[in-house]
Chains A and B, each alone.
Chain A
Amino acid sequence: MCGAPSQDLDLSGVDLAKEAVIAGIVSRGSDPVAGAYVRLLDSSGEFTAEVPTSATGQFRFFAAPGTWTVRALAPKAEPVDRLVVVEGIGSVARVDVSVG
């Protein structure tokens, strides 16, 4: 889940010397879901941020090292939670979410 950025994630404009990133793709079956809402919750479950997914289903957050929960909301699907660990500045924690 953590490690080098995958080729299909667009991280253009991100300065990995300064940021730790949580990023991934929301999909339904084999199709990316555009316009889903992805919420980032901290280790106590507190809301931290929310972004809509791009046309290719991608989302991205800048986050501090630690344990986070990514929650995906999409039309006609139950919310899906995924736990993700951010190791440090310069790392990209990849978390893909499949919704019903």
Chain B
Amino acid sequence: MSRETALVDADWVEAHLNDPKVVLVEVDEDTGAYDKNHIRTAVRIDWKKDLQDPVRRDFVDRAGFEKLLSERGIANDDTVVLYGGNNNWFAAYAYWYFKLYGHQDVRLLDGGRKKWELESRELSTDAVSRPATQYTAQDPDTSIRAFRDEVIAAIGSKNLVDVRSPDEFTGKISAPAHLPQEQAQVRGHIPSAKNIPWSKAANDDGTFKADGELRSIYTGAGVDLDAKDTIAYCRIGERSAHTWFVLHELLGQQNVKNYDGSWTEYGSLVGVPVETGTGEA
């Protein structure tokens, strides 16, 4: 994976707006954003309603993902371009999710919805529909998804990258500053985790920083990218999908997993070690 195969810019999207084999998909935290307006040919995926099991805390199963993509008119050989608000947090989450179910050609729009808006590019309120397909997904690729037991086992051995804000990491607050405070039973972070907020990887306009700069952000914070496997986490797995994208897709690191259980799971587990403060003795 590399920047060339994982990322497209707004000019590329505009040039492919009418390409039948390119499917634009908007994924937002604020799921009403698409209703207000969207890129002219984009369909919507609702990260909560469409991508989460309605009862258990887990993904929709393979059959559910096949049904969703078939309904949205996405074929196995389509190029899927994801974009969204919040600096592409949920678009990156969907990217990781598409990869988990084996979609071959998926990309992110660099800068997402914000850069598109700040450049005053065209947005539309027209309804978008595509003819249904017969989509076939693969079994989930758990080489990119971490579960709690392997996270506990990774303490002190693998790279654990906590991408939340410094105040969430130290335990001062339990959710990002623009959200009501809620969620896990306790505050803090997984012992031995390095705090590298997702935002360090992005410019103000939401685009990703250059590869060399990205690499030094992680290595400079003590992440061993040469010898160790890596698990990224945040609060619910969306910001860490952004960092997973940087490490695995842009920098081409092998063995990087996103822990989507993240702090809302870990911070509610009984008996696991938790660290507060900066973690630096």
Interface residues of chain A, those whose CB is within 8 Å of chain B, are: 35, 37, 39-40, 42, 46-52, 61-64, 71, 73-76, 79
Contact = CB atoms under 8 A, between A and B. Distances in A.
A49 B120 contact: no
Interface stretch (B56-64, B111-119, B130-138, B219-227): B111-119
Nearest to B85: A52
Contact of B166 (A42, A49, A52, A62): A42
A42 B197 CA distance: 13
Interface centre among A39, A46, A79 (most CB of B within 10 A): A46
Contacts of B87: 50
Nearest to B175: A62
Interface in B71-124: 85-87, 114, 117-120
Contacts, number: 53
B178 interface: yes
A80 to B, nearest CB: 12
B181 A48 contact: no
Contacts of B166: 42, 46
B178 A50 contact: yes
B177 interface: yes
B121 to A, nearest CB: 10
Interface size class of B (residues with CB under 8 A): 20 to 34
A47 B178 contact: no
B204 A71 contact: yes
Given A48-B167, A74-B118, A63 B177 contact: yes
Main secondary structure of the interface of A (DSSP, over half): strand
B180 A62 contact: yes
B257 to A, nearest CB: 24
Interface string B173-186: 10011111100000
Contact of A46 (B86, B120, B165, B179): B165
Interface in B131-166: 165-166
B150 to A, nearest CB: 29
21 contacts: A37-B117, A39-B204, A42-B167, A46-B199, A47-B165, A47-B197, A48-B167, A48-B176, A49-B176, A50-B87, A50-B178, A61-B178, A62-B181, A63-B177, A64-B167, A73-B114, A73-B118, A73-B204, A75-B117, A75-B119, A79-B204
Given A61-B178, A73-B204, A79-B204, A37 B114 contact: yes
Contact of A37 (B118, B165, B197): B118
Contacts of A39: 204
Interface in B238-258: none
Contact of B205 (A35, A63, A73): A73
B209 interface: no
A47 B177 contact: no
Contacts of B85: 52
B172 A51 contact: no
A71 to B, nearest CB: 7
A40 B181 CA distance: 17
Contacts of A74: 118
A11 to B, nearest CB: 14
A75 B204 contact: no
